[in-house]
Structure 1
């Protein structure tokens, strides 16, 4: 029996209306009742995922969450950090140099806010702040320094512009960072050691669950690492083709209760 299921949020747990369907809710409750760990694995910080954790009753002692695309793993109730893999000010300088050369925009995710060096924040920075219920803080380039906790750095722009940027990013950027696209307008840079897969490994080691006894479900490129590493890697029916290609199983779409289908089939054995 699988003992843990890691779930991406947008495009996976949530349907296209950004809601948890009753089928998905009920399956998660039954899985938890049967002793399985249900772990939300997201690019969001803890404040951005807390409302969903409360809605799903995943706030008890022994409930865990993976935040910032794997940079942080926490116990929900105590907020105790199990794993924390940060970036540095030097990383920001490297990425910001590229941002200026390519005439795009950037922001920094910290545990409590999103920092922008732009006088006029990108509409995608505003979206990030609204999604995660965190404030936007303006800091000029000169005000950004190593006193900041850099959880991740994001280039944000229109999807077409990000496609162009992906084609011209220097090879050393891919060599030195985990680079993932979590949405068509979000290009994320993390510490090379940080991704949803290494976070899942760290959590499993901490709570003594073999990685072979885990399921990971997702739809986007930032889910690829945990889908590859889990005992059962699952792509949503609405996932990118590149994610379907690496998955062991393809479930129904997020509008067809795809997460409930996985839980019912592989955890509840219905």
Structure 2
């Protein structure tokens, strides 16, 4: 049986229950995995600020702990705050995406290295992004930002019935220029071509001297596909999208039924 050395966990729909909490059984399983020397890494589309209270709750705050935020665009040492890796896009890219979003009639927001969460208007899902992560929002006309302004990611955010047809109208070349992932029915994320959770987990594993076959990745949505394809053991949640279940080696219980704890107990603690 393989000795796994790292487990990367998506947050929303995976580690977190629908109410945003982590079950006691899951917390206990994570602690036991860490006691066995296994690295437990949160890998989320959220900004690092949106991970902090969970990192604290799980005790993942030492100089030996790492987190992937923004779908792998930023890898941080949680203890030292050092960036292990960051892959960005530019203000010019943001201007392009914004122009397209206006043509297709979909709301948008972005994350800037300097300004944090930015948006041209206060739309419903931008407020949701602000509130779930507990971060400030700056209203700004994207076209006022310099072409070389550093952007971590830009998102199309809208009701699924508006977003889905909008996504169909994205320029075809976007899929070559960027990483384009659907992280929720109401979120489409556009990132640096090299930014995805798979590359992020791969880079971190290389940095730590861990092989792909020693890595477990667990997720539920489109933005988890790259890391499931990378992992030695890929696990889809019981509540995952069907296309994610199709690429997984194993399907665990849902996020409401301690799916993450089940994986750790079965493959790490057993």
User: Where do residues 1-270 of structure 1 align in structure 2 (5 Å cutoff)?
Assistant: 1-111=3-113, 113-118=116-121, 121-146=122-147, 148-269=149-270
Flag structure 2 segments of 5+ consecutive residues without an equivalent.
Answer: none
| CA–CA distance in structure 2, aligned partners of residues 151 and 162 of structure 1 | 21
* Whole-angstrom distance in 2 between the partners of 1:72 and 1:139: 23
Aligned-partner Cα distance in 2 for 1:142–1:155: 16
- DSSP 3-state at the match of 2:49: helix
Deviation string, structure 1 residues 130-174 (Cα, Å, up to 9, x no partner)? 111111101124422246430000011101111101222121011
Query: Alignment partner of 1:150: what SS?
Result: strand
The CA distance in 2 between the partners of 1:144 and 1:117, in whole Å, is: 11
Runs of at least 4 residues of structure 1 off by over 6 A?
none
* Distance in 1 of aligned mates of 2:148 and 2:130: 21
Q: Deviations over 1:4-59 (max 9, x none)?
A: 00000010001122110011000000000110000000011111100000000000
Superposed CA offset, 1:47-90 (max 9, x none): 11000000000001210000000101111011111110001112
1:172-199 alpha-carbon deviations (Å, 9 max, x no partner): 0111111111111111000111100000
CA 130–147 in structure 1, closer or farther in 2 if over 3 Å, else same: farther
Cα RMSD, aligned residues only: 1.1
- What is the distance in 2 between the residues matched to 1:11 and 1:141? 31
In 1, Cα distance between the equivalents of 2:171 and 2:149? 25
CA distance in 2, matches of 1:182, 1:263: 24
Q: What's the CA shift for 1:104?
A: 1.6
User: What is the distance in 1 between the residues matched to 2:254 and 2:130?
Assistant: 27
Distance of aligned partners of 1:139 and 1:88 in 2 relative to their CA distance in 1, 3 Å threshold:
same
SS in structure 1 opposite 2:85? strand
Matches of 1:10 and 1:116, distance apart in 2: 22
Is the partner of 1:13 in helix, strand or coil? coil
Structure 1-normalised TM-score?
A: 0.96
Aligned residues: 267
Query: Which ranges of structure 1 fall in alignment gaps of 5 or more residues?
Result: none
TM value normalised by structure 2: 0.96
